Structure 1
Amino acid sequence: MQQMNADTIKCPNSEHANDVKLICFNESCKANRLYCIQCMKDGTHISHPQNQQELPMLFEFIEKTEKECNDWMTSLNQQMDLAQQSFYFLLEGIRSKYQKTKEQFLNLNSKQMNSFFVEIIQFKSVQQTIKDQIENSIKELQNQMEKLTYGLKLSELNYCSISDSNIQKSEELYKKGYQLYWNDDNYKEAIKMFDQALIFNSTHQLSLQCKAQSLKMLGQYNEAIIWIDKALQVDPKHCNSLYCKAESLRMLGQFNEAIIWADKALEIDPKHCSSLFCKGTILTQLRMFNEAMLVIEQSLSINPNNFDSLWSKGLCLQQQNQFKDAITFYEKALTIIPNHQWTKNRRDECLKALNNKSLFKFLKIY
């Protein structure tokens, strides 16, 4: 890969020994955009001198375009997220309207029972109609994406090939960054290493994902989402990346959208403990305690020592004023990470609540 540096960029004209000094911004120009002094002497670009700039302008233009492209892709992702959120609400509405247990049905009054029965009698016809509409809409969207890909000639790109040496260098830098991220908890330095890895291979998925994870650990959730979206462009089915987006959205308070992304991870790997923890915690925050407990228990059945799921179960119990049981799970979590201050604080809150409860009972007796 040729270095983007005025001292090393050679003129595209193989007969010229000079380095590139100038660039052409004329949209309709057919000549080489990067050219040397000899090209200029030969009369190249002479018809539109107003569009010529010195080489440093190229790097400014590339940087500006990269930012604009990131903003544009973020906007497109947001539009797709809105569609996914609408789809999630549709699924929740269908579940609420057509699914009831025997116990739930018996808790309805006679008028509600009749209405529910009328709806489920019509379920088959409604199911087919919605199925056809969704399939047609998805097919139309896929056709539009294919047309855009063809129109932009994205399948014909030939300047993104990466040399073996750059791939190897990128992997070496990623491993150094991962050491800083995973073993040393040095997220800022890890990000610097991941950035260096991405200079040599901009599509190194693990560097993109670990940079996003590091940003998340630093509390920079919006920035984390930007980088995790880049990782998902490389591998849309990477569970840890999907979880990272779900968890970042959870921390931003965007609970419904976070559940969508946690569910995407769980579609790929139903036993992905981190995504189960994330979904369970969101349900707790939404005060859907029964549903939350089912999801958290599922995670703990897979890995009884999953730290996040242990404190999440403690939180779910604490939110229901089951302080004694909550303390049990906070203590279990602290046997894994003894110095986790958040968990210590929640445990102490439960202990204080129990002490206050005992004191109240004592005062009530006397």
Structure 2
Amino acid sequence: MIINETIQIDCICKNDKVEFICFHQWCKGHRLNCFNCMKNSEHAFHRQDLIKISELENRIENNNFNIENFLNLLQKDFKSIQKFFSLLLKGIREKFYLTKDKLFQLQSEQINQFITTNFEFQDFKNTMNLNFNQIFHNLNEQFMQFYQELNLQTLNYYELNNMDKEISMKYYRQGYNLYLEKNCYNQAIKILDKSLGFNPQNYMSLWCKGASLKMQGNYKDALLLFEKALSINPNHVNSLSDKGQCLKMQGQYIQAINFFDQALQVDQYHVNSWCNKGECLRLENQQIDALDCFNQALKLDPEQVLSISSKGQCLRLLGKFEEAIFWLDQALLLDSKDVPSLLEKGYCLKELKQYQEAIICLDQALLIDPMNVNSLCVKGECLHLLSQNKEALQYLKEAINIDSKHNQTIINMGKCLMEINLYKEALHWINKAFQQKKLQNLDLFILKGKCLRLQNEYNEAIKVIDKAIQMDSQNAESYSEKGQCLRLLGKVNDALIQIDKALLINSKHLNSLYTKGQCLKELRKYAEALEYLDKALQIQPNHLISLSEKAQCLRHLEDFNEAIIWINKALDIDGNHVISLSEKGQCLRLLGNYEEAIKWHQKALKIDDQQIVSLSDQGIFFIIYYQDNAQDYKENIEVLLKYSIKSLKLILNTFYLYQKKGNAYDKFNYLRILQSVLMKSYKLMSIIIFHQ
């Protein structure tokens, strides 16, 4: 018997004897209590796990019985291993070991077999030796691990002497000082291991070792140490808070918040817990609640850079860019090299369309951390928004080389490549983004639809845009994009229906206004078209397409001089805009200014040698202007023929030239070309027949 029924133990309160003992597994209080202590403690909530002190003997005997059973099972398993090991040794000895007496009993064939098998055994022996060495080594390591985890080296754990505790704390303080120094975490861990060797129950050392591992990114092992520390002291604030940080870094934000809350219940003034709880709430898109946490942190420590910077980030995510910049500037006053603050300020300036200023901030961030993917990505995006797409691609490629799965960089790659007309490559990156379901948002569907449209895949584009419309039926951009596709398919009236839907949602939607102008122009409603193009230009006076389209409408209304004024505005923005160059040539021709007209058409053809309108007009000019120069005439007719199949208008113009200058043989040959190309066009066939 271990304890008799008359055992007397003083309660921790010193006022009475112990009457009850708690066996609740997760109990955080003192387990031995008198009656009064039990009533006033947390044990009242799990009374089913309380026993009277008189029952302690039976409880311990049952515990001993269970331990003996467990040890017997282990011994049984180990004996089973020993049995098979003995059989192996016995078999090897009997088969490969030959005594002198046995040798004389064997016949020639048996001795031959013995020698052959012995050679096989020699080869096998080396492999077997290596395997057994590894097995025994692993087994020893496992035994040592169990020995340490069960703290068997401290059998008298309840009698840990004060000297060991003092030495343990001495090593803890040394380890803690190393932990506070950056990049000294390995040294800190070695010292803290010494501390734990003297006192495995030193929760401060357990926490500090875990914190060092956390700083090295080893969250899994750090969590184990924090849990050990908390099993010894459940109210240790740093262990609670750092466990939350590990969970946060693993993306487990809700679980992390739970531990920050526990830390704050113990110490409501713990700044890091307020700040990190705010970070988790921000990452869960709960920006208002996150701001409350950051404000609490800043009340306690007005100069904590992380809280100030994170508050700025929350304000940015709420669209309060100017206010965000104010707080980010405060953070940078305290630490001018704080990369997150520089990055966030760059984000804000980008959203305010202050792209050059944003790039300055991002360059400062990249000077400190050249491998910061977000800084590279946002700088690339700013350059893209400044139409410096080739430069933008350089930074985006750097970001991709560092992190090939960086979502925003992948999308920005698609945008930049699309702007420089590399639609196939752009679609590759957009499709890469589509592989991740979390990125399949409205903007990405619209972007893909636009890219397909620019590749002339109008029907495919419409399929993608229809999915965008299903996602959000109140998005003007989706209807506008679908309208553009329908217009390019020649379904102008259907296009107008979609454009009107877009304008019903947003009457100032730029793309819809100029696209409606294009549709009305194609329906020869030039005056109405001008109304919508003017609305587009009121919103964006330098909108190139609207300027060019307005000039075309004015030309159709035979207001050639006014048309040239608007063409010049377009060319001031982009001197290489082929359509505007060609349009100016047409207007000058219609004003009878042939020499100037030819110059503008030639400029267009230098940029695009297949610009059909310029080719057509230039052919006409050469016939009218150089009637006596047969060589010039012949060369331009050949150029026209080369591209004639690309434009019905060009085919007719070329045919009229042959009518005027060509001989009968030329007329006959070209009529055959026209008949093969235009067989399905009754109107044009009638023209051909008329001219025959």
Smaller-chain TM-score bracket: 0.5 to 0.7
Larger radius of gyration: 2
Matching residue of 2:146: 65
Counterpart Cα distance in 1 of 2:241 and 2:217: 16
**Counterpart mapping for 1:1-366 below 5 A:** 27=71, 60=141, 62-65=143-146, 158-159=156-157, 161-354=159-352, 355-356=354-355, 364=540
Equivalent residue, structure 1, for 2:614: none
Percent identity among equivalent residues? 34
Q: Secondary structure at the match of 2:288?
A: helix
The 3-state SS of whatever aligns with 1:316 is helix
Rounded to whole Å, the distance in 2 between the matches of 1:69 and 1:288 is: 43
Normalising by structure 1, we get a TM-score of: 0.55
Q: What SS does structure 1 have at the residue aligned with 2:258? A: helix
Bigger share in helix = 2
Number of positions where the alignment pairs a residue of Structure 1 with one of Structure 2: 235
Q: State how far apart, in whole Å, the 1-side matches of 2:224 and 2:147 are.
A: 13
1:251 Cα deviation (Å)? Answer: 1.0
How far is the alpha carbon of 1:203 from its aligned partner? 1.4
Compared CA separation, residues 217 and 329, structure 1 to 2 (3 A): farther
Closer, same or farther in 2 for the Cα pair 1:58/1:174, shift >3 Å? farther
Cα distance per residue 1:197-220 (max 9 Å; x no partner):
111111112111111111111122
Seen in structure 2, the aligned counterparts of structure 1 residues 60 and 261 have a Cα distance that, compared at 3 Å, is same
CA distance in 2, matches of 1:252, 1:186: 23
Cα deviation 1:11-39 (Å, max 9, x = unaligned): xxxxxxxxxxxxxxx946xxxxxxxxxxx
C-alpha displacement of 1:67: 8.0
1:69 and 1:324 map into 2 onto residues whose CA distance is 58
Partners in 2 of 1:59 and 1:168 — Cα distance?
A: 32
Residue 66 of structure 1 deviates from its aligned partner by: 5.6
Q: Work out the CA distance in 2 between the residues paired with 1:260 and 1:322.
A: 29
Cα-to-partner distance string for 1:158-183 (whole Å, 9 max, x where unaligned): 44532323222212211111111114
Structure 1 residues 209-218 or 318-327, which shifts more? 318-327
Contact residue 309 and residue 340 of structure 2 kept, 8 A: no
Q: Which moved more, 1:279-288 or 1:351-360?
A: 351-360
CA 294–235 in structure 1, closer or farther in 2 if over 3 Å, else same: same
- Residue 250 of structure 1: how far off its partner (Å): 0.8
How far residue 252 of structure 1 moved from its aligned partner, in angstroms, is: 0.7
Q: Report the residue type matching 2:144 in the other structure.
A: E
- Within 1, Cα distance between the matches of 2:146 and 2:231? 18
- Partner in structure 2 of residue 78 of structure 1: none
Q: Which stretches of structure 1, 4 residues or longer, exceed 4 Å deviation after superposition?
A: 56-59, 66-70, 357-360, 363-366
Residue 280 to residue 59, structure 1, CA distance change in 2 (3 Å): same
Residue by residue, what CA displacement relative to the aligned partner does 1:317-353 show, whole Å, maximum 9, x if unpaired?
1222323322332332334344333333333333344
1:64-110 Cα distance to aligned partner (Å, 9 max, x none): 3268879xxxxxxxxxxxxxxxxxxxxxxxxxxxxxxxxxxxxxxxx
RMSD (CA atoms): 3.8
Quote the offset at 1:59 in angstroms. 6.5
Change (3 A) 1:264 1:342: same
Instruction: Give me the whole-angstrom Cα distance separating, in 2, the residues matched to 1:279 and 1:193.
Output: 31
- TM normalised by structure 2 equals 0.31
* TM-aligned CA distance change 1:350 to 1:185, over 3 Å: farther
Gaps of at least 5 residues in structure 2 are 1-69, 73-81, 84-136, 358-384, 387-538, 543-692
Amino acid at match of 2:180: W
Q: Distance in 2 between matches of 1:158 and 1:186?
A: 34
Q: 1:101-126: CA deviations, max 9, x gaps? A: xxxxxxxxxxxxxxxxxxxxxxxxxx
Instruction: State the distance in 1 between where 2:327 and 2:173 align.
Output: 34
- Identify if the C-alpha distance between structure 1 residues 191 and 341 changes in structure 2 by more than 3 Å, giving closer, same or farther: farther
- 1:290 deviation in Å? 1.3
Counterpart in the other structure of 1:143: none
- Counterparts of 1:226 and 1:158 in 2: how far apart (Å)? 24
Q: Which amino acid aligns with 1:234?
A: I
**How much has 1:225 moved relative to structure 2?**
0.9
Q: Structure 1 unaligned segments of length 5 or more: list them.
A: 1-25, 29-49, 71-156
- Paired with 2:541 and 2:187, the residues of 1 have a C-alpha distance of 59
Q: Aligned partners of 1:214 and 1:180: how far apart in 2?
A: 9
Q: Distance in 2 between matches of 1:198 and 1:344?
A: 42
Structure 1 stretch displaced more, 248-257 or 332-341: 332-341
The 10-residue stretch of structure 1 (169-178 or 57-66) with the greater mean CA deviation from structure 2 = 57-66
Give 2:279's aligned amino acid.
T
CA shift for structure 1 position 236: 0.5
Contact 2:245–2:256 (Cα < 8 Å) also in 1: yes
Secondary structure of the corresponding residue to residue 238 of structure 2: helix
Structure 2 CA distance, aligned partners of 1:160 and 1:338? 52
User: Judging changes above 3 Å, is the alpha-carbon distance between structure 1 residues 27 and 285 closer, same or farther for their aligned structure 2 residues?
Assistant: closer
Q: CA offset at residue 62 of structure 1?
A: 4.3
Structure 2 CA distance for aligned equivalents of residues 292 and 266 of structure 1: 15
Mapped to 2, the partners of 1:231 and 1:181 lie a distance apart of 17
